[in-house]
Amino acid sequence: MRPVSHVSGIHFLQIPGPTNVPERVLRAIDRATIDHRGPEFQRLSLEIACLLHPVFGARGPIVIYPSSGSGAWEAALVNTLSPGDRVLMAETGQFATLWSRIATRLGLDLDMIPGDWRHGADPDAIGERLAADTAHAIKAVAIVHNETSTAVTSRVAEVRAAIDRAGHPALLMVDTISSLGSIEYRHDDWGVDVTVAGSQKGLMLPPGLAFNAISEKALAASRTARLPRSYWAWDDMLESTRTGWFPYTPATNMLYGLREALHMLDEEGLANVYARHARHGEATRRAVQGWGLELVALDPREYSNSLTAISVPEGFDADALRATILERFNMSLGTGLGKLKGRVFRIGHLGSFNDLMLAGTLCGVQMGLDIAGIPHGDGVTPALAQLTNPAPALALSR
């Protein structure tokens, strides 16, 4: 029988993206489409170009594709590399793995540092590989800032430092799909060459747009890179960041939404946005501790503030728990991906979110654990305590 609460009230979309799209953004998208070659479009386009820079921490060009995030992965590679080029990646989880498959499909030579799916990209391991690569066969290091399958945030600045210490000229590419607009990110300061991003997480939009922020060095590389490319080619796109005109028909209505979302981030203030995500990440981890469950992430320095991945005890099925919670409480949680399938569920707490949405989310998980018969303590109370009177982060209090 259909549970009584299912059809009423709002759905709690607590997968780690797409996130809950705010009313302001949905209503902005819900406007008549305009001529993409007219003056009003140009103003829209240039305003967005301006508003995007602080979010990426980038002063250089940022191109916008009508595509999913996987398109921006591909764009980063095809614009800067040539057939057979070696790419160094770190196996942090499912999304790093998917990105690496794209590299392979495109005919690149993949060097993947194996990982346990519980840690971020290891700056030391990367540094060692680069130091050993005296011939500079490695043309790019590509890592995932926030691995959405494991809720582990890699330390990009430390990776940058490792590359620099190795004195290696490889490009640094970073996937920020589930961190941008949620966890502090600094394209320029961290010396990132290509930042890959998507619309449907911290940017609070529906899925459908993807981004490449591009360094001078990446631009230079693109001039000689020989992978075939057309749709993803930066050359024509760069024009648009200056003139406001796109080389193809842009996804106008999504751009309306993007402008609104960027205004919302600006109004809240990026520092406040990051602090909010940090509070929610910490409160969620307090709840996990209270439940007596285990985080996938092992290193407190790498805890993600945009989502939390949690293991269920042996003998229980995380997807059965998720199905119960969806059925009974109208909440979607993230499934375990790849090799974590069935053993892990993920709580997204990013994007347009606040304390009471988090409280409702955590209550839903706790009631779901109850119903599923998974042994657990009380996680809600310590989470509420954390929200009320923020204590130092768990990581530091250990």
Q: How far is the CB of 187 from a copy of itself (least distance, A)?
A: 22
Distance from C-alpha of 146 to C-alpha of 169, rounded to nearest angstrom: 24
Q: At what angle do helices 318-329 and 355-372 cross, to 10 degrees?
A: 120
Output the CA angle 337-280-18, nearest 5 degrees.
Answer: 45
Distance from C-alpha of 326 to C-alpha of 337, rounded to nearest angstrom: 18
Q: How far is the CB of 23 from a copy of itself (least distance, A)?
A: 6
Q: How many beta carbons lie within 10 A of that of residue 105, not counting itself?
A: 10
Residue 351 DSSP code: S
Q: How far is the CB of 38 from a copy of itself (least distance, A)?
A: 6
Q: How many beta carbons lie within 10 A of that of residue 289, not counting itself?
A: 16
Distance from C-alpha of 44 to C-alpha of 59, rounded to nearest angstrom: 19
Is 276 annotated among the ligand-binding residues? Answer: no
**Smaller CB distance to a copy of itself: residue 284 or 366?**
366
**Smaller CB distance to a copy of itself: residue 159 or 393?**
393
Q: How far is the CB of 324 from a copy of itself (least distance, A)?
A: 11
Q: How far is the CB of 245 from a copy of itself (least distance, A)?
A: 12
**Smaller CB distance to a copy of itself: residue 21 or 172?**
21
Distance from C-alpha of 225 to C-alpha of 231, rounded to nearest angstrom: 15
Helix (H, G, I), strand (E, B) or coil at 239: helix
- The strand pair at 86-90 and 138-144 is best described as parallel
Q: How far is the CB of 123 from a copy of itself (least distance, A)?
A: 28
**Smaller CB distance to a copy of itself: residue 218 or 227?**
227
In Å, how far are 81, 83, 242, 347 from 227, measured between CA atoms? 6, 6, 25, 38
Q: How far is the CB of 101 from a copy of itself (least distance, A)?
A: 8
**Smaller CB distance to a copy of itself: residue 116 or 266?**
266
Distance from C-alpha of 194 to C-alpha of 172, rounded to nearest angstrom: 7
Distance from C-alpha of 166 to C-alpha of 132, rounded to nearest angstrom: 9
Decide: residue 116, CB within 10 A, 0-12 exposed, 13-18 middle, 19+ buried. Answer: exposed
Q: How far is the CB of 206 from a copy of itself (least distance, A)?
A: 4
Whether residue 78 contacts residue 72, with contact meaning beta carbons closer than 8 Å, is answered with: no
Distance from C-alpha of 250 to C-alpha of 199, rounded to nearest angstrom: 14
Q: How far is the CB of 78 from a copy of itself (least distance, A)?
A: 8
**Smaller CB distance to a copy of itself: residue 74 or 193?**
74
- The strand pair at 152-153 and 146-147 is best described as antiparallel
Which of 303, 16, 346 lies closest to 177 in space, CA to CA?
16
Helix (H, G, I), strand (E, B) or coil at 306: coil
Whether residue 379 contacts residue 288, with contact meaning beta carbons closer than 8 Å, is answered with: yes
Whether residue 100 contacts residue 140, with contact meaning beta carbons closer than 8 Å, is answered with: no
**Smaller CB distance to a copy of itself: residue 133 or 332?**
332
Distance from C-alpha of 153 to C-alpha of 224, rounded to nearest angstrom: 32
**Smaller CB distance to a copy of itself: residue 213 or 387?**
387
**Smaller CB distance to a copy of itself: residue 171 or 358?**
358
Binding residue ranges for substrate:
346
